Structure 1
Amino acid sequence: MIEKPSYEELEKRIQELERVESNFNRSKGKLIHSYDLMDYIISHARSAIAVFDRDFKYIYVSKRYLTDYKVKEQHVIGKHHYEVFPDIPQKWKDVHQRSLAGEVLRAEEDLYYREDGSIDWTRWECRPWYEYDGSIGGIVIYNEVINERKKIEETLRKSEQLLSTHLLNTPIGAISWDLNFKTVEWNPAAETIFGYTKDEALSKHAAELILPEDMKELVDVIFQDLISEKGGTRSTNENITKGGRRIICDWYNTALKDADGKVIGIASFVSDITERVQANEGLRKSEEKFRTLFHTSPNAITLTSAENGVYIDVNDGFTKMLGYSKEDVIGKTSAELNIWNDFKDRELLASGLKKYGLVDDLEADFKGKNGQIKSGIMSAHLLNIENKNIIFAITRNVTEQRKLESQLQQSQRMESIGTLAGGIAHDFNNILSPIVGYTEMVLLDTPEDSPVRDSLNQVYTSALRAKDLVNQILTFSRQDSSELMLMKMQPIVKEALKLIRSTISTTIEIIQDINPDCGVVKADPTQIHQIVMNLATNAYHAMEETGGELKVSLKEVELGEYDIITPDMTPGVYACLIVADTGVGMDKILTNKIFDPFFTTKEVGKGTGMGLSVVHGIVISMGGTIHVYSEPGKGTQFHVYLPVIKSAAEKPKIQTQVPIQGGTEQILLVDDEEAILSMEKRMLERLGYQVTSRTSSLEALEAFRSNPDKFDMIITDMAMPNMPGDKLSVELIKIRPDIPVLLCTGFSEAMSVEKAASLGIKGFLLKPIIMKDLAQKIREVLDACKI
């Protein structure tokens, strides 16, 4: 007979069932939330995404996929891919089969031909997805249309080609000189003007092309203006050709500078204006033709009294360019109308007309009636018409042309960041390598209770921070995405402020308001440090002259539907970092420009204009928003908003200590830097290895060739004189194919993990080298070769 449970037992069972049900509902809610979040992310991805089972039937499609391929979800889910697109080429069928067999295939650029005959440039990836048992359940296709990127690339290519063609075919002589005024470049137009071929002109001193009596004055003008950072000089001179003929030339000279801003030479653009000077008389006799040209030309043409500067007549091209009516202008001077954006350009025009009677290709900016700035290239002649001295001027509107040139120059400057970053990364990492390595070994030898241990930890932490910052420069220049982790910002913000406090004037008070309860964000600690440093430094410069308060606060805020700062933000909880100063402040015009690359209001040596653009790029990459509030004389506030992660399913990463494993194998160590070689040798010997070291790749090759079986492994640097590390590795592998090689480098655009593997190199490691990373990589390579 079964004994009936008591009332108390029944009550306990009911409570247990209720608890199980509650946990189940909670788990179910989290699962639904996770699914909704994943669906939201996929739906808003830039790529069109489709998921198929093994029979190529649709399981899932993103909204982008439905839009790009003009299909409806109910018409594709459960349908065979080839049924939906019956004309799919064999090329894609082959890709699908290979992916179903386990391959991941992709293309950065590919053409997609639509049914209506249009063509799209796309980037795509096709990869298998796996069931819980490890079997392939089907494939996932990612496809992104990149038409805009291709258009931009083609535009830049055509612009560069056009510039090159223009320099070769322009009628303007293009010459460059070194600082001793010896000729370095000489284009075909210069050959035509002066009669010297390029071979004859190269290395020839300017005095042989310009009359000696004019030479000193010209050189003085050029160098004075270059020293005063004017950016360029214009002059009109009498010159002499190869045959001895005297000609009048218009010159524009500007400094050539290297990447550090140092003047390394001079570029000159010259036009032979002899015929124009001689043609003044002919212009006087061509009054009827002149009137026709005057009224019909799209360029701005003006007739001005040389006596008092009053406008006598202007054409329609002038009124269209600057927005004035003829009635607004005639009878007034350019000074009264405030047309010249820089009054020095007007003085240059008056000086040239007084000396030579003409000025050709004067580049100047002009203010329109509505205040807009228009760029123009002006040519002016002093004519005598009916016994009156008249200034005849033609100005070509090049405003749009200048905008396009500026965009091209900015694009080229941004491209050069990657080259600059790569150049400094190798040297910086070589400098950091012995600092990190020796500090790490000293720490291992220092007792926990030693009074110097804390100082050593500070050195080690700072060195690793420097390592991360170098990597951050590379990440920004290559526009790569960093690995984000769940973290709290408070320690990073406090660490950055501690560093700032030690570097800025005591006339600036730093006030902290860091809320310890501010939640977890998904970010890169190095990038958070860089945000605080850049914003705090910017605030410091705003108060450098007068002193003031730098206030940094961190708090959690909840933004509703009507509180969001930008349209791409969503309502929710954000970590808000505020960096405020009591400095000079900015007007709306400056505020709108501060995040532009290379824009800066600071004097030379105080800033590059990159700091705030870097901050903006970092914040956007982490899914956040940055906003600035400023008024002249009332200081500036930067507000950085980063989404707070509330999901309990995600937890901050915890670094676990992994024991460092050594060995007893014989290693040949090669590095041309003595400091790095000595440090790495001590580090390896500390791990138990037997080490033979060489500073020369040729000596290392000879040592290995004489006894190839002596060594169990080679560790070599990439950048070395005579024979770089990759070529040394190839030669070593030729001698003994089974020798494992570990290649180390501070930075190399020419080498990657994939490239190293294709050469037979078994391991690839970036400097500066951390002992645990080196020990782990050595064991990984050696143990893999023993299998």
Structure 2
Amino acid sequence: ASPPPDPLSRALLEAIPDLVFILTRDGLVTGHHASDPTRLLLPPGQFLDRRIHDILPPETAGPMLAAIRRAIDSGERQAHEFTFLHTDGLHHFDSWMARLDATRAVMVVHEVTGRRQAEQELRRSAELLRLFVEHTPLAVAMFDRHMRYIAHSRRWVLDYRLSGQPIIGRSHYEVFPEIPARWREIHRRCLAGEVLGCSEDPFPRQDGTLDWVRWELVPWREGTGDIGGIIMFTDVITAQVEEREEARRLEERMQHAQKVESLGILAGGVAHDFNNLLVGILGNAELARLEIPPASAAHELLDQIEKAGRRAAELTRQMLAYSGHGKFHLERVDLSELIREMVRLLETSISRRIHLVFNFEPELPLIEVDATQIRQVVMNLILNAAEAIGDAPGTVAVRTSRVTVQPGETVRSTLGDELPPGPHLLLEVEDSGCGMDAATERRIFEPFFTTKFTGRGLGLAAVQGIVRGHRGAITVDTGPNRGTVFRVYLPLRQASEAAPPAEPLSPESPPHPRRILVVEDEEVVRAYAAHLLQRDGHTVHLAEDGEAALGQLESLHASIDLILLDLTMPRRDGRGVLAEVRARHPTLPIIVTSGHPEDEVVRLLDGLAWDSFVPKPFVAAELRRAIRDVFPA
């Protein structure tokens, strides 16, 4: 037995907060001391006079016994870490062994469970912080007071093109030697304690390109409160800036287009009224020429009147062209190339979540169209497809090909017309949107019909008018939840298939006399038409507006062979009269006349049938031809 410790040793043992054990080289516990018995995880009866292999698992007892023997044999202190699984959890200990005599060692045990848990939590927190910084969607970098990199996100490496460069520990000014003095001053101010930022800042690259960034710099502090460095947050917003600028330019173009449209409506209205006046001028000049002798000097004066009238008519055509309702300016174009040139504008006009796919048949023949009007068709169809998809991701496919409509094959347009046989170019626009039910499909080409809150309902109506003006056809294949396909057929005429020249107008050979009702609100036009028709042997009845026309028709319908109908009139316009006549007398021939061009008349009378059209200003030969077209026999 060991002698009792002297007072100094006893005092030292009591002052030590750790556990002290005496063990033999065989691992037998022969004594212990605990100034705080609560630190013992086992009561003394469970470890005194017992070998450590009986107390601890082999993987713990083996290394511990080896350390004890090294301490006894070498006389040098040995350190050892071990764990002990108790009912309340896993405990961590540090221990030190020292030689007591030739067969025994003293082991001091210090519990470090709290420290180990704190270290583990610190490592976990550091790893979480590293992952957070590395994977944050912003470009983030942390610097010390000397602007050396401490940490950075992946986005920082990507945005600033640093892939493959280890930058931790390097100076920011070494990584970016060309950095302007302005940025060095910003860093200095932030290291002095300021929080700085900018919502939109140009960032020139070494390759000469220019990016735009949003940034913020924040100083970070040590535990002492001293500034330890700065954290820099940046976001490259070049795409957003370019999109905003493009949107601004598009808005300017839209405002310009709206202004042009408003002026166009005004110009179209003025041209219409002017054409009415020109009917009286040119028509009566023509009639006056018939009333005077061939040798009369008045012919020269009438020549001047007709010349001035024709110049005025040319002015009205220019006004109609400006308004967008004039004749097409035809040219031979490559349809696929025309669409390729629009790709950038199309991509900026629709959602970035919509993917545009193009599939053009190679070596398509040139087609004779109005390129500006066809561009409008393409734009309207693609915008309509994108709006059908909405905010969801989707696809709009645009295809061109050559097709041949065979004799007997039926391709029916939305207006019910059948496409004539022959070669055509086909433009298809297909979307992956919501599709349409039958009720919506029936109305999509109606002017001012729209299913969109902000829509005007003119896009598809314009497409239909342009396609019909090109003697083409448009079809729709759709259904709820299966998308929509618009197919535009444009007739293809080879260079060797040029259209035959129009039959020359002849003032002679008036058609067979008919009984004609002239419906016209302009007195000068009404008088000219009556004079001309009566001179050709026709029986003429006159009506100054739509209501008067319907009244006369009710009493004279059996005595009327033909109606010459103006479109723009007070009380009841030409469309209202046409609809009423078709309802009462569906087979009665009707010639429509208007100061508006034929494509505008087609739009205004969409869904109603008429037999011929005479544009104002007209002369005798044009009106005679229209009558002969109605009564060819």
Task: Give TM class, smaller chain.
Answer: 0.3 to 0.5
Q: TM-score, normalised by structure 2?
A: 0.34
